[in-house]
Structure 1
Amino acid sequence: MDNLGGMSVAAEMTSIEPRIAELIRHSMALRAGDSVADACADVLDDVLDQALTSSEGGKRLRARLALAAFDQATHGRASDEERAGMLDLACAIEVFQTAALVHDDIIDESDLRRGKPSAHRALATATHSNAIGRGLGIMLGDLLATASVGIADNASRRLASSDGIVAAFLNMHKEVEVGQVLDLAVELAPLDDPDTLASASLNVFRWKTASYTTIAPIELALLAAGGDPDESRRAALAIGRPLGLAFQLADDLLDVVGSSRHTGKPVGGDIREGKRTVLLADAIAMASPTERGELVNAFSAPARDEDQVRRIIGLFESTGAVACSRERIASLWEEARAAMDERCGSDAPEDRTFVEACARFVPLA
């Protein structure tokens, strides 16, 4: 059975989902006695409702990793109060994840998220204005990001190293924000140097994705268990950096080999957006001169039609870029696995569960 700290995944998810909704309602509620003008109240209610809608669903990989890392570090001996605090801290990471996705969808002009209208699109429909919908989406992302800090701060008071937890949580925010800047900057990278493009894209993955997807959940869990700050950071980077890179590579790969039914997003979305990815860099590097010119021209154009999307997906396969990406994922997983072996030296249930929680990030390995 797939367990987390002796609890089935179904039971763990049952505790995570309602707790996230409860924490969002509490964190985003106005203080008693505060009020807004009647003329604006409906729009505020729409934004608060969308906060809950945007927070629904997802695999909760980050929260589950944090809980598993905490159980591994405490050998499953944490008190009920400490485990409740860790659950809230894990939920805080998920709330921040939602904030990041809301902003990401605005930047990428995405229509869908988890199979539903993205937040800014839903708010545009509610207000009958694309401009207001985008603005409200920006503010919704800000509200959720702020709420995540409050949730983490409250949770830290029931855990070891309260100050260290808050500092690490804020550092996670900063790293993702830096990562988003780098993600936009890499779109300006020239396509005639695929090795440089691949290196830059992988660096974006470290900052934008690994920082809060795998590194922070482990670091926060180890701090919450009373771990030394420097050692907690070292262990989190050793495991979380390669694991996070593998996760993003797998996500990019699913964009071309997956299906909308499983991803909740249209297949080939990165290609339509013209994103500079490691997959693209590998395809350019391994393509024939004619194919290379075709790829460069397609991604230099302002848009790509559906025939081009299908053609590019075919080139990713035929050039060997898809196979290369699978090899990168497997290599990074082995690196992360070696770091896990260093930390998980026994056959204790908590050790096995932690490794299982990490393995969920790389289904393609």
Structure 2
Amino acid sequence: MDAALAEFLRGQRERAGSLDAATTTLVAAAESFVLTGGKRLRPAFAYWGYRAAGGDDSDALVATVAALELVQASALVHDDVMDDSDTRRGAPAAHRRFAAEHQAAGWLGDPTDYGTAVAVLLGDLYLVWSDELLHTGGLSPTTLARARPVFDQMRTEVTLGQYLDVLTQATGEPSVDRALSVARLKSAKYTVERPMLLGAALADASPAVQAAYSGYGLPLGEAFQLRDDVLGVFGDPARTGKPAGDDLREGKRTFLVAAAYEGADPATRELLTRRLGDPALDEAGVQELREVIIKTGALERTESRIIELTEAARAALASVALAEPGVAALASLATAATARTG
């Protein structure tokens, strides 16, 4: 996967250089972000979904599903702009990196505005490239025609899920139902179900296999997001690549937070409302909110739901005959997605 992405991005850098040498700086930044981090989960689910449906390994398959990593890069760059995040994968977020470049060079205008503008363009560029890589990976037009609707629907869903996330932060709605809706659209479908169905479409899998993949992908993707929510509050920054408590400073109304609201008394609810979304929240404030999340039973409830969802996903996968080594790989991916620490 890394080799396919490196080859594609190298070609983009050469093309950009032929247009204007100045654009290679942006493409080099794009290469650096994609090639020095990321779990490759989405292309992995697509790849092993294809293999479990009876498809054979090929360089063309790997290059085609690598397009999902470029969609993910776009989502992360734009997400960091919207959340005004400082770091990503242990390094400055894209908009911070470009702002620092502007400031160091002493260019005209505001460095922050420049950083934001270039990061938005970078995210857009990744999205354009995802289309290009999907169609130039080497699979036949007939095969790609089956997969195209899945790819399009996935990108629509993740964008709408991101909108709901932004909307919920703005309204402050502490609803478990809304938190789950955001998790399903922004992460569950996008991370597991749609990549699995993309692999199924490429392999021309039967309706029974597609149904099993949805039964596996949706709960597993939701469990993945819930684990992400837990790590956003309790994770080790050295492993997550982001400061601990950032989700609390951003005021994200995750399932974890919504469950804390449900389990809180009026005084504790007032504390949650007052402290959540405070960008100046210090370590003591983060620890105070962590204690609330634990004492209200929200952390235990979230962990229990992760286990329940993962078991449902495994059961769905076992409900249909699939091919090895795809089945074993998907079982391993279920553990990697839900039991991770970073």
TM-score clears 0.5: yes
Give the Cα–Cα distance (whole angstroms) in 2 for the partners of residues 22 and 247 of structure 1: 30
Alignment correspondent of 1:64: 44
Deviation at 1:190, TM superposition (A): 4.3
Aligned to 2:108: none
One-letter identity of the residue aligned with 1:104 = D
Q: Which residue of 2 aligns with 1:124?
A: 99
CA distance in structure 2 between the aligned counterparts of 1:232 and 1:162, rounded to whole angstroms: 18
CA contact (8 A) 1:102 1:141 kept: yes
The corresponding residue for 1:171 is 153
Q: Across the two proteins, how many residue pairs are aligned to each other?
A: 333
Q: 1:356 aligns with which of 322, 329, 332?
A: 332
Q: Which residue of 2 aligns with 1:35?
A: 19
Report the CA distance between 1:284 and its aligned residue: 1.3
1:274 to 238, 251, 255: 251
After TM superposition, the structure 1 = structure 2 runs for residues 183-262 of structure 1, keeping only pairs within 5 Å, are 183-191=165-173, 194=174, 197-228=175-206, 233-262=210-239
Query: How far apart are 1:90 and its partner, in Å?
Result: 2.1
CA distance in 2, matches of 1:181, 1:31: 32
In structure 2, the partner of 1:111 is: 86
CA contact (8 A) 1:149 1:170 kept: no
Q: Residue 252 of structure 2 aligns to a residue in which SS?
A: coil
Letter in 1 for 2:245: G
Greater shift, 283-292 or 19-28, is seen at 19-28
- Shift of residue 363, structure 1, vs aligned partner: 0.6
Shift of 1:99: 0.9
- Do residues 311 (structure 1) and 293 (structure 2) align? no
Aligned to 1:8: none
CA pair 246-156 structure 1, distance change in 2 beyond 3 A: farther
2:107 maps to which residue?
Answer: none
From 101, 104, 122, the equivalent of 1:140 is: 122
The answer to whether the 8 A contact 1:175-1:208 is kept is yes
Q: Is the 8 A contact 2:249 2:277 kept in 1?
A: no
* C-alpha contact (below 8 Å) 1:160/1:223 kept by paired residues: no
1:217 is aligned with what amino acid? Answer: P
Moved more, 219-228 or 138-147: 219-228
Secondary structure of the structure 2 residue equivalent to 1:219: helix
- Over 3 Å counting, the alpha-carbon distance change for 1:124 and 1:302 in structure 2 is closer
1:18 counterpart letter in structure 2: A
Q: Is this contact kept in 1: 2:99–2:112, CA < 8 A?
A: yes
For residue 313 of structure 1, report the CA deviation from its aligned partner: 1.1
**CA distance in structure 2 between the partners assigned to 1:27 and 1:47 by the alignment:** 11
Give 3-state SS (helix, strand or coil) of 2:294's partner.
Answer: helix
Q: For residues 286 and 265 of structure 1, do their structure 2 counterparts lie closer, same or farther at Cα, with a shift above 3 Å needed? A: same
- Listed one character per residue, the Cα deviations across residues 297-323 of structure 1 (whole Å, up to 9, x for unaligned) are 223767533322111011111221111
TM-score by length of 1: 0.85
Does residue 84 (structure 1) correspond to residue 63 (structure 2)? The answer is no
**RMSD in angstroms over aligned alpha carbons?**
2.3
Cα 1:222/1:159, change in 2 over 3 Å? farther
Instruction: Give the aligned partner of residue 25 of structure 2.
Output: 46
Alpha-carbon offset, residue 256 of structure 1 = 2.0
Q: How does 1:1-20 map to 2 (within 5 A)?
A: 16-20=1-5
Gaps of 5+ in 2: 104-110
Question: How far does the alpha carbon of each residue in 1:38-75 deviate from its partner, in whole angstroms, 9 at most, with x for none?
Answer: xxx43x2221111011112122122222222221111x
Question: Are the structure 2 counterparts of residues 345 and 19 from structure 1 closer, same or farther at C-alpha, using a change threshold of 3 Å?
Answer: closer
* 1:155 CA drift (Å): 2.9
What SS class does the counterpart of residue 295 from structure 1 fall into? helix
C-alpha separation between the residues in 2 aligned to 1:139 and 1:66? 27
Q: Structure 1 residue 327: deviation in Å?
A: 0.8
**Superimposed CA distance per residue, residues 61-116 of structure 1 (whole angstroms, 9 cap, x where no aligned partner):** 22222222221111xx62x6xx2222012211011101110100000001111001
Q: Runs of at least 4 residues of structure 1 off by over 6 A? A: none
1:231 CA displacement: 5.1
How many percent identity over aligned positions? 33
Secondary structure (helix, strand or coil) at the match of 1:342 reads: coil
More moved, 261-270 vs 44-53: 44-53
Deviations 1:307-347 (A, max 9, x none): 2211101111122111111011111112211111113468x
Q: Secondary structure at the match of 2:311?
A: helix
2:126 & 2:72 partners in 1: Cα distance?
Answer: 9
Within 2, Cα distance between the matches of 1:214 and 1:156? 23
2:71 matches 1:96: yes
C-alpha distance in structure 1 between counterparts of 2:290 and 2:25, whole Å: 38
Q: Distance in 2 between matches of 1:361 and 1:302?
A: 29
Helix, strand or coil for the counterpart of 2:333? helix
Q: Deviations over 1:134-160 (max 9, x none)?
A: 101000000011100111122363476
Is contact 1:93–1:212 with CA below 8 Å preserved after alignment? Answer: no
